[in-house]
Structure formats: C-alpha cells, structure tokens
A and B are shown apart, each in its own frame.
Chain A
Amino acid sequence: MSVPVWPASLPQRPLGEGFAEQPPELVVRSPMDTGPAKVRRRSTAGVSKLQMVFRLTPTQLATFRNFLANDIQDRALSFSWVHPITDATGLFRIVEQPTYQAIGNGLAWRLSVVLEMLP
C-alpha cells in the first residue's frame, strides 16, 4: 500500500504566525529535591510535534477535506511530506482534529493543524 502524499495543490509552507515545533523528549531526569539531577538518554529517536497554520482558498480547503477523509482516513494514516524548515522528507501524522476558520466570510480559510513527524 502506497503512502499518501501531502497534496501538491496545498501550500507547502505554513504561515509564520502560529508555527511552533517541539522536538521529542528523549531524556529522563532524576526528580530529587536537592543536588544536580542525573540525566540520561532514554531513546535515540522520537516524535516531533508541529503546530501549523495555513491560509487556504475554498478550493484548497475542499482538497484538504478530501485528503483528510480519504487519503489519510481521518488521521489514521501517516503521509509523506517535507519538513517546512529543514526540508527533510519524512512521515507525518495529524494528531488533533484540524480547525477551519473563515476569513472574510469564507473568501479564504484559516486551517490550524497539529502534526507529528515520525522518526
């Protein structure tokens, strides 16, 4: 089964406003009251979390809805895309249900998604 791909007709870069990335938590720290904590690595790779906002046209919103419902089966499947900052190709998943907000009475749409990039 082929891996779905982020549609080419959708923006490939999110808006700067609202973008945030959190790298994976890979260490464990000792929770002691006093003294410097002991720290060790727990795994060699993990999942990065990304928050993104896109500005879409009504046509692009329809494309995204179709991508969400059919290609990635309502967030159950991962898809191939390029990290918007590093340009690294990887597998992504949409973590939370996306939100759509109308801009200018629906002339444009603001799409907010939370993604995770798989190791």
Chain B
Amino acid sequence: MTLSDAGVRDLAAQECGTAWLVLLTIDHPDLPNPIRVTSDGVETVSNGQTYEPFPFELTLPDDVEGRAPQARIRIDNTSQEIIALLRGLITPPLLAVQIVRASDPNIVERRWAGLEWRTSTFDIGAITGVLTIEDLATEEFPYETFDGRFKGLWP
C-alpha cells in the first residue's frame, strides 16, 4: 500500500499542519455493531463511517524474524466499556487499524486488517492487549490433501 502524494509531502515537510489520525475498528460476530474509535479529540468521519474519540495508544505491527507481526494496544478502561465487551467474548475480536490524514480522511494511507486481540491485561486505568495476525507458518500442511488414508507413506 503506497502513501498518497499529499501524504508523502506531509512526511517530508519540515512542518506539517495536517494531523495524522489512527482509526481503530473492533469487530466480532457477537457485537451488534463494530466499535469505531479515533485518536483525534473529535469525531472522525472516514468513508461513511463515524469514529468516536476514545483514549488509546497503539504500537504499530512490527517486523521481527521468526514470528508473525505483533502490535500492541493500550486503551482506556476508566469507563470499563471495552473490558465489559472483552469479558463477554469467547473468541478474540478482530481489529482493523487505519491511518488517515485529518484533511482528507477518506483516503486511507495505511491499513492493517485482521488483527486478532489475543492476550489482555487490565487494571482500573487501562487495558493492554497484544494484537497478532494469523501465523501461516504454523498452519498444518498439506491441509486436506493428505488426510490419513495413505498411512503407509508416512512410517
């Protein structure tokens, strides 16, 4: 995914008056609607979706050899809305992270989708979670091709 021309100009500039915003979507089949939050102090409308201001910190997915990329999230727990949501889920929620420029929020500069909220720790102030993507390297292979009918091939 490449940055827009305006985004490249912003990043290269000595000063940049446009805020770069992080938009977070938390989704799960058990949720009536996805939770959409923005790092801005006011609502952000991007591609027809409204993102509510909510305090959080995000460490973007890394690139470490030997394992799937991981991201970290720290989200406010003062009102305990998010922890109440997490407690009620059996399977991990999926997160999508988008970075947009405040001056043109419909153009997504970077996007990470399909991040699974795996491990969580929380206290009265914040929830910290590790976000991972499905690690294809640990998937069984070949899947459904060898289903045990030819046991003699594998002593």
Which residues of chain A have a CB within 8 Å of any CB of chain B? 24, 26, 36, 38-47, 119
What CA separation (Å) do A119 and B16 show in the bound complex? Answer: 21
Least Cβ distance of B8 to chain A in Å?
A: 14
B102/A40 in contact, CB under 8 A: no
Point out the residue from A44, A47, A119 that lies within 8 Å of B19, measured CB to CB: A44
- Give the chain A neighbours of B40 by CB distance below 8 A: 43-45
Chain B residues near A (Cβ < 8 Å)? 10, 13-21, 39-42, 53, 102
Q: Is the CB of B14 within 8 A of A119?
A: no
Which residues of A are found within 8 Å of B20, using beta-carbon distances? 40, 42
Shortest beta-carbon distance, A31 to chain B, in Å?
A: 15
Q: Which of A39, A40, A47 has the most CB of B within 10 A?
A: A40
Q: Whole-angstrom distance from the CB of B118 to the nearest CB of chain A? A: 28
Quick check: A42 and B19 within 8 Å, CB to CB?
yes
Which chain A positions have C-beta within 8 A of B19? 26, 40-44
User: How far, in angstroms, from A42 to B41 measured CA to CA in the complex?
Assistant: 10
Q: Which residues of B are found within 8 Å of A39, using beta-carbon distances?
A: 14-16
| A47 and chain B: residue at smallest CB distance | B41
Q: B residues within 8 A CB of A36?
A: 14
Interface hub of A43, A46, A47, A119 (most chain B Cβ within 10 A):
A43
- The residue of chain B having its C-beta at the shortest distance from the C-beta of A24 within the complex is B41
Q: Point out the residues of chain B lying under 8 angstroms from A119, CB to CB.
A: 41-42, 53
Given contacts A39-B16, A44-B19, A44-B102, could you give 17 more A-B pairs where the C-beta distance is less than 8 Å? A26-B19, A38-B13, A38-B14, A38-B15, A38-B16, A40-B10, A40-B15, A40-B18, A41-B16, A41-B17, A42-B19, A43-B19, A43-B21, A43-B102, A47-B41, A119-B41, A119-B53
